Amino acid sequence: MQKTPNWQNHVFFFWLGIVGTVGTLIGIVLSIYLYRASQIKPILTFGVLPLKTELQRPDYDKELGFVYQGKLVDSASITAVQVAIWNTGTKSIRETDILEPFHLVMPDGAAILSVRVKKMSRPICGFEFVNNQTDYVSGKCLLKWRILEPDDGVVLQVIYAGSACHDPTLEGVVEGQKAGIVVEHYDINHENQTITSQISPFRVAGIVILCIVCVSLMMFAKSLQAKTPVGKQMAVEIAVAEKELARLKKMAGPMPAISWLIIFIAVVLLAGGLGAFLYGLPKGPPFGW
């Protein structure tokens, strides 16, 4: 007796389920991205180039000395450093948005000898530093700007009478950034810097676990193919007749659609996971050092 075909098992509904699953995954990822992109807020970011120049060190020949503006600088260490200040947010930072003036502060209160603007994203920013010798002696420099639109910023070169062991800091408060200034940290061994040196052990462990999960999903998808009628027939006939292995592999038929779906989900998870883990790595100012 011939069985009446069930309309619910029609291939159309099978593919409809696959398209719906893929569409749901894409929708979730897209909604998260659009939500983050729609957040309008300033993000003032500060970074210090790890490669510093030591103009004077305690182990240098003291007979040479270091003269600045015609005067001998009485300091065991003199360092030149580059710092960057820029806006990585989606909202402009205007002069009126500054709740507490921004100061560049040298480590250990070392006196500032010189400050100059090495690079500015756009002259319209109106970035300037206040050459106040009283502040310089106390290791501080007042910073001002007209406006910092997204990806706008400046690179400053600072020479101070102090050691290169510690980095300068940036102090100040901007409206809409309650968490404070974002500080990008870099590997001090700049020449030997690698991606893995910037990732915490927890991130590395997360990447390894994610790779294991994705490989397991792919193996599971392959095992589903072996459970199809053609796959079972292939396994039996291979055990009976080794010589027909090549012919039976050709008869195995295509991989079922559900297996391709699982592989697709595994690839999406792997790509999204790696992107999420690597997203927070320091990138430096968009206009370069």
The overall average pLDDT reported for the chain is 78
Q: What is the pLDDT of residue 248?
A: 57
Kindly report, residue by residue over 143-170, the tens digit of the pLDDT.
999 999 999 999 999 999 999 889 999 9
Rg value, the chain, Cα: 31
Percentage of residues of the chain with pLDDT beyond 70: 68
Q: What is the pTM of this model?
A: 0.61
Q: What is the pLDDT of residue 13?
A: 57
Structural domains in the chain, CATH included, are 44-189 (2.60.40), 194-289 (no CATH)
Strand pairing partners for 147?
94
CB atoms within 10 A of CB 73: 16
* Side-chain half-sphere exposure of 193, counting CA atoms within 13 A: 15
Percentage of residues of the chain with pLDDT beyond 90: 36
Tokens of 106: 């040298």
Kindly report, residue by residue over 246-257, the tens digit of the pLDDT.
665 666 566 677
Q: What is the pLDDT of residue 231?
A: 65
Kindly report, residue by residue over 197-217, the tens digit of the pLDDT.
444 566 667 777 877 877 777
CA distances from 72 to 55, 96, 135, 161, 238 (A): 13, 41, 20, 12, 89
